[in-house]
Amino acid sequence: MVFQFLIISKEKGDVCVMKKIGCICLLQLCFFAFCFSLNTPLSMAGTVRDDFNTDKLNPDIWQITKVGKGTYSIKDGQLLLESPAVADGAILYCKQKLEGNVTIECQMDSTNEDPGSLGTVGFTDGIFDPEPSPNFWVHWLAHFNFSPTVSDLFADNYPGKNNWPKAGATLNFKSGPHIWGIEINGKTVTHFFDKKNVGKSDNSEVPRYFHVSPDTYTSHYFGTVAIDYVEITGSNVKSMAVSPAGKLAATWAIVKRGER
């Protein structure tokens, strides 16, 4: 709304000068500001993304648990997790406890994984060392198992109680880089492979941790997985620097390695 009013001024005793001025109604401006504030979220979703383009993992974000000769290294923009033999194991965890709506995405190449392997990526209900299979599988929530050309997806109410419940059909693909993803949204958990929806299950609605490993067990499998990036986004995710040098990852400023 625009209205007109008169300003009367005196200058050196001369006759008053009237000026016509158009301005925005103050009441309208205040009303607009109030409505805008109602539609602006008080906080924005946070994102942690790491493209592994530094030679060290940030210990404030990541934790590696390992057994035997299980190890990791960063080379040419990839994080290599290695489990050289059956008795070895190595798991990468994000140290943040994840609650509420959250999405994880991990691009990796499992070409050098054991063909009969149980490499895994997804959620667990805590941070644990690699263990023999009956001890570890009770900790899984929604996750994928993967080998060089096959991947199975498991429901969020997984932990070894309900006949190994799957969230969708077995995936078959060519060896090479692929993207695994899981989205927690309300009461639904959705699995994605190469950005495509491949399965759903019910949300267990419990705190969770992201993990990826070539071998969570110390009783069956072995191999190496090469990870290009991990991205974790959610309403309760705390955006953090991806490296000690202080590269900040957030939904509006994601650190990227660039084209590979």
Q: Closest by alpha carbon to 207, among 122, 81, 123?
A: 123
Rounded mean pLDDT, 201-212? 95
Q: Is the pLDDT of residue 59 over 50?
A: yes
Q: What mean pLDDT comes out for the span 105-116?
A: 87
pLDDT at residue 198, rounded to an integer? 98
Closest listed residue to residue 92, CA positions, set 111, 114, 120, 113:
120
Segment 174-193 shows an average pLDDT of 97
The answer on pLDDT for 43 being more than 70 is no
pLDDT for the residue numbered 179: 98
Its pTM stands at 0.76
Query: Which band of pLDDT confidence, cut at 50, 70 and 90, is reported for residue 117?
Result: low
- The 3-state DSSP class for residue 185 equals strand
Q: How confident is the model at residue 103, as a pLDDT?
A: 98
Decide: 237 and 48 in contact? Cβ < 8 Å.
Answer: yes
Distance of CA 223 to the CA centre of its chain: 24
Q: Which residue has the higher pLDDT, 194 or 245?
A: 194
Average the pLDDT over each of 46-55, 117-126, 150-159, 186-195 and give the range with the smallest value.
Answer: 150-159
pLDDT, one tens digit per residue, over 3-33 is 343 333 444 444 333 333 333 444 443 444 4
> Strand runs (DSSP E) across the chain, as ranges?
2-9, 17-24, 46-50, 62-67, 71-75, 78-83, 89-94, 102-109, 119-124, 140-146, 150-154, 171-172, 177-185, 188-193, 196-202, 209-215, 223-234
The pLDDT confidence band at residue 116, using thresholds 50, 70 and 90, is low
Phi, psi of 182, deg, nearest 5: -140, 135
81: buried, middle or exposed (CB in 10 Å: 19+, 13-18, 0-12)? buried
Structural domain boundaries in the chain? 2-38, 46-234
DSSP code of 140? E
Q: Write the CA distances from 78 to 17, 106, 143, 177, integer angstroms.
A: 75, 12, 21, 11
**Contact by Cβ (8 Å): 97, 116:** no
Q: Is residue 34 helix, strand or coil? A: helix
CATH topology of domain 46-234: Jelly Rolls (2.60.120)
HSE-CB of 85 using CA atoms within 13 angstroms: 3
Better-predicted residue by pLDDT, 215 or 49:
49
pLDDT the model gives residue 216? 85
Of the pLDDT bands very low, low, confident and very high (cuts 50, 70, 90), residue 161 is low
Confidence of residue 190 (pLDDT cuts 50, 70, 90): very high
- pLDDT higher than threshold 80 for residue 247: no
Region 152-157: what's the mean pLDDT? 91
Higher pLDDT, 199 or 16: 199
Per the prediction, the chain carries an average pLDDT of 79
